Amino acid sequence: MRILVVEDEKKVAAFLRKGLEQEAYSVELAGNGTRALELALSEPYDLIILDLLLPGLEGMSVLRELRRQHVPVPVLILTARREVDDRVNGLDAGADDYLVKPFAFAELLARVRALLRRQGSDRSAALQMSDLTVDPVTRQVSRGARLIELTPREYAILDYLLRNTGRVMTRTLIAEHVWDYHFDSDTNLIDVYVKRLREKLEAGGEKRLLHTVRGVGYVMREHER
């Protein structure tokens, strides 16, 4: 699940990113409204967390422009503006939820989960392949009765590959989806993560589901080709 966090206060942005990444969300940051709009119009996000008071283009303008262009992404406004009028305006402009700073992180997470659930059952329904089950709501991963502990990054890679079952995903695609920055596709960082993930998936001697396509990338499929 990819979340765009629009926040100009560096401390708050770093706090949000850290907390969300610990929950295995993939997070991108935008520090101003123009950048936020550019990203939101070009990349598919599952959710946007939007501050209102931003340098340059204001949060409300970002929101209005997204809705004007029929971008359906759920938007959670996170702002210090607490007046009823502000909340009404935000929701009327097309926000899906509104949370006032200071906020409890647990409440933010609960609202994020609720918005992601509302988006459609296909996003929150358990993913299954052979004896592998991944529950995006509880983030529980298992093979048969064996529970598998994954780090947030490993989970994010598995979630991404599983949602693209049968499609070979390149290292670049995986890097761009799971990390929020672009790096050289010949780095072996992705390989290191995938290797660890695969070891955990096969620790009970289960059959291989995560395959390497030499020179290209990785693919989830039931049968070796």
Does 8 interact with Ca ion (rule: CB under 5 A)? Answer: yes
Q: Which residue has the tokens 């799971």?
A: 178
Count the Cβ atoms, other than its own, within 10 Å of residue 44.
9
DSSP reduced 3-state for 169: strand
CB nearer to Ca ion: give 76 or 134.
76
**CA atoms of 182 and 37, how far apart (whole Å):** 19
Considering only 7-15, 70-78, 143-151, 198-206, which stretch makes contact with Ca ion by CB under 5 A?
7-15
Considering only 43-51, 89-97, 123-131, 163-171, which stretch makes contact with Ca ion by CB under 5 A?
43-51
* Axis crossing angle, helix 105-118 with helix 10-22, rounded to the nearest 10: 60
Please give the DSSP secondary-structure letter assigned to residue 168.
P
Q: Which residue of the chain is nearest Ca ion when measured via CB?
A: 53
CB nearer to Ca ion: give 26 or 79.
79
Does residue 158 contact residue 134 with C-beta atoms inside 8 Å? yes
Considering only 23-31, 49-57, 118-126, 148-156, which stretch makes contact with Ca ion by CB under 5 A?
49-57
| The only residue of 28, 51, 97, 154 in contact with Ca ion, by rule CB under 5 A | 51
**CA atoms of 133 and 139, how far apart (whole Å):** 10
CB nearer to Ca ion: give 28 or 51.
51
Considering only 50-58, 104-112, 137-145, 197-205, which stretch makes contact with Ca ion by CB under 5 A?
50-58
Minimum distance of Ca ion from residue 52's CB (angstroms): 7
Chain positions 52 to 71 lying near Ca ion, rule: CB under 5 A, are 53
DSSP reduced 3-state for 90: helix
CB nearer to Ca ion: give 53 or 88.
53
Does 110 interact with Ca ion (rule: CB under 5 A)? Answer: no
Q: CA angle, corner 222, sides to 165 and 147, nearest 5?
A: 85
The number of residues that bind Ca ion (CB under 5 A) is 3
Minimum distance of Ca ion from residue 47's CB (angstroms): 18
Minimum distance of Ca ion from residue 12's CB (angstroms): 8
**CA atoms of 122 and 124, how far apart (whole Å):** 6
Give kind and range of the element (H or E) at residue 28: strand 26-30
Give the phi and the psi of residue 46 in degrees, each rounded to 5: -90, -20
Considering only 48-56, 91-99, 158-166, 189-197, which stretch makes contact with Ca ion by CB under 5 A?
48-56
Q: Which residues contribute to the site for Ca ion (CB under 5 A)?
A: 8, 51, 53
